[in-house]
Amino acid sequence: MATGSNYLIETVDLCKRYGDRAAVDNLNLQVEHGIVYGLLGPNGAGKTTTILMLLGLTEPTSGKAMVNGYDPSRNPLQVKSMVGYLPDNVGFYDEMTGEENLFYTAALNRIAQDEAQRRIKQALKRVGLPDAGHRKVGEYSRGMRQRLGIADVLVKDPKFIIMDEPTLGIDPEGIQELLALIKDLAKEDGRTILISSHLLHQIQQVCDKVGILVQGKLIASGTIDELEQQLVSQEHLELELKAVPGDEKLGDICAAIDGVSKITWNNDMLLLECSRDIREALVKELIAKGYCPTHLSLRGVSLDSIYLRYFHKEEKYYGQSS
């Protein structure tokens, strides 16, 4: 029976093994209601296996998963009734029109004809295909098929949507349209969305939180800022600084701050190598000494760099590639 948990998805030591290989290894994942969560990782990281367990399409070897308080293995029908799934390769009947495919989905979900017609019209408009519903799906581009896939999901009116590599193979303009739609589904509708992807720069645009999955293990999870803080607390950092005035004394002030190991001038910019995050202390000290910082940036801290550095650390630790 469903519980009043703050999390729509919660897994506890979730494992899936195939012989001696752990596809998912003690996964502890929490996804709050109403957010977009990106599950990131290279091919073979365990993302799709995790999704299959959340959908009740494969049973865990050990541990458990809960979706809105239901166990997908024990209550698959309840879970399927509230979850919409967009796989990486959306399957439609090419000889049927977009509308006919959606009516077929509605019939499978026992949605009355009048209600189905209303939902289909609304869904096609929502995904930007109001005039394409009468065309055969075999004529659709990859981007149109993906949008039809989202319309197919919306016909069910799910609380929770899972998208597996939704932007794969779509042109840049189509990607931006799809990402805008994903944002809208979460923010306007209040739906929870889980996106599985390895295309990190795209996911960064739409996700409230991300998790990095490597070799079946969740090695980091949180907002981009939280991942940055985890990274800067563990790694050697490099800061870019510009300030007014940009005289030599500026370098002396920076060098005297605890945590600065090296300073280098690059034209009018100072590069500071640091053993910790000194940004707050640096700004306070500069202002106190009459300097005005005009540029202060932490180099190499983006979702791409966070991912690569976590992945490198994990690979080095385990001594193998994914």
pLDDT in tens, 180-204: 889 888 888 889 999 998 877 777 7
> Is 310 a domain residue?
no
User: Would you place residue 4 in the very low, low, confident or very high pLDDT band (cuts 50, 70, 90)?
Assistant: low
User: Sheet holding 292-298: strands in order across?
Assistant: 260-266, 269-274, 237-244, 292-298
> Is 189 a domain residue?
yes
Rounded to whole angstroms, how far apart are CA atoms 215 and 43? 9
Of the candidates 21, 17, 8, 12, the one whose C-alpha atom is nearest the C-alpha of residue 63 is 12
Same domain, 159 and 89: yes
Same domain, 175 and 240: no
Same domain, 90 and 134: yes
Residue 292's domain spans which residues?
229-298
Q: Scanning the structure block, which residue is given the tokens 């989202």?
A: 150
> Is 128 a domain residue?
yes
CATH number at residue 255: 3.30.70.100
Rounded to whole angstroms, how far apart are CA atoms 37 and 218? 13
Same domain, 206 and 241: no
The 10s digit of each residue's pLDDT in 214-261 is 889 998 889 877 876 666 665 678 899 999 998 989 999 999 999 999
The 10s digit of each residue's pLDDT in 48-78 is 999 999 999 999 999 999 999 999 999 999 9
Give the pair of three-digit tokens for residue 19: 């012989």
Same domain, 213 and 269: no
Rounded to whole angstroms, how far apart are CA atoms 32 and 71? 17
What is the percentage of the chain residues whose pLDDT exceeds 70?
A: 89
Same domain, 292 and 145: no
Of the candidates 10, 13, 88, the one whose C-alpha atom is nearest the C-alpha of residue 48 is 88
Number of domains observed in the structure of the chain = 2
Same domain, 56 and 82: yes
CATH number at residue 160: 3.40.50.300
Rounded to whole angstroms, how far apart are CA atoms 248 and 234? 30
**Domain ends where: 200, 222, 244?**
222
Same domain, 154 and 197: yes
Same domain, 195 and 105: yes
> Is 304 a domain residue?
no
Same domain, 213 and 236: no
What is the distance of C-alpha 152 from the center of its chain? Answer: 21
Same domain, 133 and 35: yes
The residue ranking higher by pLDDT, 109 or 5, is 109
Same domain, 162 and 269: no
Give the pair of three-digit tokens for residue 37: 């969560």
Question: Taking residues 131-159, what's their average pLDDT?
Answer: 93
